[in-house]
Amino acid sequence: MYENLLIGFSVFANPMVPIGLIVGALLGYMIGAIPGLGPSLGIALLIPFTYTLDPVVSIVTLVALYAAAEYGGAISAILINSPGTAAAVATSWDGYPLTQQGKAGAALNISIISSGIGIALSTLFLFVTAVPLSEFALNFGPTAYVGLALVGLSLVSTFSGDAPLKGFIALGIGLALATVGLDTQTGVPRFSASPEFFDGFPLVPVLLGLFALSEVLFMIEGGPSPKTKSQPLSGLLAVPLKTFTGMKLLFLRSSIIGYVIGVVPGAGASIASFVSYGVAKRSSKTPDKFGKGSYEGVAASESANNAAVSGALAPLLALGIPGSPTTAIMIGALMIHGIQPGPLLFTTNPEIPYTIFASLWLGMPVMMLIGLAGARFWARVADIPRPAIAAIVTGICFIGAYASENSMFPVYVTLVFGIVGYILRKAEIPLAPIILALVLGDMLESNYRRAMLISNGDYNIFYNSTLTMVLLAIALLSFTLPSLRKAWLWSRKSRA
C-alpha cells in the first residue's frame, strides 16, 4: 500500500502533472466563484479537453478542479453574499457580516486555510478507509456486482430531494439511454437508428448538454443578473496564528463530520457544512457571535464542505458508485479514459487512486497559495455579467463536443440534451439520476446476464450469497426509505 503511495507521489516528477494540478485549481476557483456554476458543471466542461492528455494528468486536473471549485463558492459568499455553490451557504452566514465589518480579507484567509486543512485531514481518512474497502470488494462475484449496482441506483432517492417519483422518472430515462447500442453479448444493435449510436450515447456530449447547456438556457431565460460589486479586501494576511491554533479541535471535528457525511452517497458537501456549522455553534464558547461575523462559523463550514470532497471520492474509488452528483460525472471521466472505477482499480490501475491521494495532499498548499495570492482576482470573477458567462459556456460546450470525436454528431447530441435538460429542470426532474443510471446501467446488465449464464437461468444464485442478499436488502431499503419516511410523517400527523 505504501509502495503504491510512493508511486502516486513519483508521478509528479512528470512536469505535466503539477501543471495539470495548477490549471485545475485555477479553473476551479474561477468556476466556483461565479454564482450559479459549480464543480459538476466545471468537470463536465473540462472533460473534452482532457482526451489527448495522459489519464493520470487528466484525473489530477479534474480532482484539483473539483476541490478548488468547492472552495471557490466561498469567495462570492463572503464578498457579495451570493454563494457560488450550495455548500457555501453556511459560509455566507458569517462571511458576509465579516465583509460588512471591513474584514473581508480576514474572512477569505480563514476560509482558504480551513479548506486546506479539511482537504488534508480528509485525504488521510480516505487513504486509511478506501484501500481496505476495495480489498474487501475484490471478493465480489457477478451477483454481488448486481447488488452493488442496485445500491448505486438506489441513490436516486437521495439525489431527488422531496420528489422521489421525479427521481425515478429520471432513473428510468437514464436506464433507457443505457440500453442503446450494440448488445455486449450478441452484438445485435439495440435502438440504434444509425451507426453513430452503436457505442451508445456518447457520455461527454450528454454531460455537456444536460448540465452546461441547460444552465445556459436558464441564464438566457433569467436575463442579465443584478449588478453586484465585490467588496474591497483588507487584512488578507492579518489573521494571527493563535486564531488558527485556537480552532484546532474545530478543524478536526469539522473534517471528520465532512468526510463521514461525504462518504454517505447523496448526502454531499451542503449537508456536511450545515451539520458542522450547527455542531460548532453548540460547542462554541461564544455562540452568540454566530451569524454576526464569527471566524469559527466560517472555519467550520469550509473545513467540512471541503472534507466532503474526499469523502465522496471514497465510494467512487473503492466501489465504483458515486458519492455525489459531481463524482457521478467523474465516473464518466474515468471511463472515457478506459479506467473502470471500483474494487479492481487498486490492482489494475493503482497509479490512479494513489495519485489522487498524492495530488490532494500536494495540491493543498498549492491551492491555498493560489487562493491567497489571487484573492483580489477571484473577487472580480463574481462581477462577470451573466450574458458573458452564458456565451463562454456555450462556446466551450460546442468546442468540447466537437473535439470529443472530431465530428458534428456530438454537437447535435449536446444541443438535443441541452434542450432535454432544460425541459427536465423546468419540470423539476433531477439530472443526477440520469447520469447515475447511464454509468451504472452497463454494470447492472452485464453482471446480471453473466450470473444468469453461470446458473443456467436459476435465480437462486442471488440467494446463495450472504453478501449479495445484504446488498440487495440495502438497495431495497434505500429505494423505499423516502416512501417509508413520508408514511411515518403522515401517521404522526394524523395521530396529532
Query: Cβ neighbours of residue 18 under 8 Å, at least 6 residues apart?
Result: 12, 362, 366
325 neighbors 41 (Cβ within 8 angstroms): no
Residue 187: alpha-carbon gap to chain centroid: 34
Cell numbers given for 402: 466537437
| Cell (9 digits) for 358 | 498524492
Give phi and psi for 190, each to the nearest 5.
Answer: -120, 120
Q: Are the C-beta atoms of 231 and 280 separated by less than 8 Å?
A: no
Q: Taking a C-beta distance cutoff of 8 angstroms, is the pair 28, 66 a contact?
A: yes
SS (H, E, C) the chain: CHHHHHHHHHHHHCCHHHHHHHHHHHHHHHHHHCCCCCHHHHHHHHHHHHCCCCHHHHHHHHHHHHHHHHHHHHHHHHHHCCCCCHHHHHHHHHHHHHHHCCCHHHHHHHHHHHHHHHHHHHHHHHHHHHHHHHHHHCCCCHHHHHHHHHHHHCCHHHHCCCCHHHHHHHHHHHHHHHCCEECCCCCCEECCCCHHHCCCCCHHHHHHHHHHHHHHHHHHHHCCCCCCCCCCCCCCCCCCHHHHHCCHHHHHHHHHHHHHHHHCCCCHHHHHHHHHHHHHHHHCCCHHHCCCCCHHHHHHHHHHHHHHHHHHHHHHHHHCCCCCHHHHHHHHHHHHCCCCCCCCHHHHCCHHHHHHHHHHHHHHHHHHHHHHHCHHHHHHHCCCCHHHHHHHHHHHHHHHHHHHHCCCHHHHHHHHHHHHHHHHHHCCCCCHHHHHHHHHHHHHHHHHHHHHHHCCCCHHHHCCCHHHHHHHHHHHHHHHHHHHHHHHHHHHHHHC
Among residues 302, 284, 398, 383, which one has the least CA distance to residue 85? 302
Per-residue pLDDT of the chain (496 residues; tens, 9 = 90+): 667 778 778 888 888 988 988 988 888 888 877 766 778 778 888 888 887 788 888 888 888 888 888 887 787 778 766 666 667 778 888 888 888 787 777 888 888 888 888 888 888 888 888 777 777 766 678 888 888 788 778 766 555 556 778 888 888 898 898 888 887 777 788 887 777 887 788 877 887 888 778 888 888 887 665 555 555 555 555 577 777 788 888 889 999 988 887 876 655 677 788 888 888 888 888 888 888 888 888 888 889 888 888 888 888 888 777 767 777 788 877 887 788 787 778 778 888 888 888 888 888 888 778 777 776 676 566 567 778 878 888 888 888 788 767 788 888 998 999 999 999 989 888 887 887 788 778 878 888 888 888 888 888 888 888 888 888 888 888 777 766 666 776 777 776 6
How many residues are listed for the chain in this entry?
496
Residue 246 backbone phi and psi in degrees, to 5: -70, -10
189 bridge partner residues: 182
* Cα Rg, the chain, nearest whole Å: 22
Please report where in the chains the cell 503504491 appears, as a residue: 4
pLDDT value of position 152: 74
Residue 14's contacts (CB-CB under 8 Å, 6 or more residues apart) are 54, 56, 57
| Structure-block grid coordinates of residue 465 | 450469497
CA distance 269 to 467: 30
